[in-house]
């Protein structure tokens, strides 16, 4: 999977124009606040996900403009394809290969990418929602059915929680709660099974990647922590979910929300058996996220049949030369977009091109004596 050309109008500070990247390594360099991360963010939106910065779609539009338009030409599934995305009035309009789509969810599985950004460092130290978001984002990309089931679960959960708040004032509504419990059990058990299956797929690669990044000094383990009691040796069934949620019905009514389910689950990350969230260092934190992202790319390639595009935003800072070399050596045969302030920090790279980003303008770098010259 490779991006052939990207263009945009009125997206943040990016100037209108066409960007034609190299099929291998693309280094985007320039000072801070010039638009490097904005470019990655714009291309990432074609995965069907939201901004990795956690902002509303309306915040993506350039000041003084009412809408923005993005266009992407890419090679996937053995053919050239095109997608267009317009953001206006808080909504997205999407077309794929010239055909208008009902929603942006249609992009899921069409264009696949893996992203590392400084925001992802909260994956280790942040709350459980950060780790759940990683699982859900990875699964939505690789399995479009998961995206649909996830949306159904979220809507059903909101309706059940509203009902839990209403029942104390309207006891006659209690009989309708069972309807939502069955629906929540259907969608929720599916999400848990898919998450556990995905985690079993990446567990070994994560360990191997972290072992390499730490140069064999440490071991990382990752396990799924369910908020519902069940035998981890058995697949999580709809009946298991229903039994757990019915057992907790009285406490849910007392608190006014659903206290257990995939929306409350977590991942347990341990380095040499010790909790990385509680005791992990800054270096371990960054190394864990890198290991997980590399494993995610490997899993996505297995599930989709082709390597995803890799977006690396400020990934090399605080990494020594050995860790940088290990990371970059695992990005061969993939198209990579890497941002940095100083291109000299990656002068040992082989094939690729470098682009200077300044005030939203993306320009091919003019080779200078102190800049790396990439083979094309």
- Report pLDDT for 282: 85
Superfamily of domain 129-303: RecF/RecN/SMC, N-terminal domain (1.20.1050.90)
Q: Residue 315: CB partners within 8 Å, gap ≥ 6?
A: 116, 290, 327, 338
Of 363, 287, 296, 362, nearest in space to 40 by CA:
362
DSSP state of 104: G
- Report pLDDT for 66: 92
Q: What order do you get walking across the sheet with 113-116 strand by strand? A: 113-116, 309-313, 336-340, 25-29, 352-358, 361-364
| Mean pLDDT in residue range 141-154 | 90
- How far, in Å, CA of 86 to CA of 255, rounded? 41
Convert the pLDDT of each residue in 32-52 to its tens digit.
Answer: 999 999 999 999 999 988 888
How far apart, in Å, do the first and last CA atoms of the chain sit? 18
DSSP state of 366: P
> Model pTM?
0.84
**Start-end of H helices in the chain:** 36-44, 122-125, 128-142, 144-166, 177-213, 238-247, 249-255, 276-279, 282-304, 321-329
Does residue 370 surpass a pLDDT of 50? no
Does residue 375 surpass a pLDDT of 50? no
**Residue spans in the chain of domains classed CATH 1.20.1050.90:** 129-303
**Residue spans in the chain of domains classed CATH 3.40.50.300:** 1-112+308-376
- Report pLDDT for 366: 60
Alpha-carbon dihedral sign for residues 232, 233, 236, 239: negative
Range with lowest mean pLDDT among 41-55, 112-126, 210-224, 227-241: 227-241
- Report pLDDT for 215: 86
Band (329; pLDDT cuts 50, 70, 90): confident
The winner for highest mean pLDDT among 97-111, 156-170, 335-349 is 156-170
- Report pLDDT for 346: 65
- How far, in Å, CA of 74 to CA of 356, rounded? 22
Other CB atoms within a 10 A radius of the CB of residue 115 amount to 24
Convert the pLDDT of each residue in 251-299 to its tens digit.
Answer: 999 999 999 999 999 999 999 999 999 998 888 888 999 999 999 999 9
Q: Mean pLDDT score of the chain, rounded to an integer?
A: 89
- How far, in Å, CA of 105 to CA of 66, rounded? 23
Specify the fold of 1-112+308-376. Rossmann fold (3.40.50)
| Mean pLDDT in residue range 192-204 | 93
């Amino acid at each position: 999977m490779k991006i052939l050309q990207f263009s945009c109008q009125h997206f943040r500070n990016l100037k209108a124009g066409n960007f034609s990247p190299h099929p291998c390594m693309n280094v985007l360099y320039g000072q801070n606040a010039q638009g490097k991360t904005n470019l990655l963010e714009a291309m990432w939106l074609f995965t069907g996900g939201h901004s990795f910065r956690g902002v509303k779609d309306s915040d993506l539009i350039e000041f003084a403009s009412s809408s923005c338009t993005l266009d992407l030409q890419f090679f996937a599934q053995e053919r050239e394809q095109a997608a267009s995305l317009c953001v206006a009035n808080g909504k997205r309009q999407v077309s794929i290969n010239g055909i208008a789509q009902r929603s942006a969810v249609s992009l899921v599985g069409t264009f696949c990418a893996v992203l590392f950004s400084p925001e992802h460092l909260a994956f280790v130290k942040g709350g459980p929602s950060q780790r759940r978001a990683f699982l859900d984002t990875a699964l939505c990309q690789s399995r479009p059915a998961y995206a649909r089931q996830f949306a159904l679960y979220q809507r059903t959960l909101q309706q059940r929680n509203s009902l839990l708040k209403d029942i104390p004032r309207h006891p006659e509504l209690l009989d309708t709660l069972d309807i939502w419990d069955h629906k929540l059990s259907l969608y929720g058990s599916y999400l848990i099974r898919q998450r556990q299956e995905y985690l079993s797929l990446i567990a070994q690669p994560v360990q191997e990647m972290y072992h390499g990044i730490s140069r064999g000094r440490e071991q990382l383990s990752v396990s799924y922590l369910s908020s519902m009691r069940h035998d981890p040796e058995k697949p999580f069934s709809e009946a298991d979910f229903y039994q757990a949620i019915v057992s907790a019905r009285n406490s849910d009514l007392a608190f006014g929300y659903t206290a257990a389910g995939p929306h409350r689950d977590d991942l347990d990350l341990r380095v040499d058996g010790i909790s990385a969230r509680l005791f992990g260092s800054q270096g371990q934190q960054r190394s864990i996220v890198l290991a997980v992202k590399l494993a995610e790319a490997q899993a996505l390639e297995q599930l989709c049949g082709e390597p995803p595009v890799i977006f690396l935003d400020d990934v090399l800072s605080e990494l020594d030369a050995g860790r940088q070399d290990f990371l970059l050596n695992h990005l061969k045969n993939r198209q990579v977009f890497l941002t940095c302030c100083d291109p000299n920090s990656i002068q040992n790279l082989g094939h690729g091109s470098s682009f200077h980003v300044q005030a939203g303008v993306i320009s091919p770098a003019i080779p200078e004596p102190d800049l790396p010259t990439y083979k094309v």
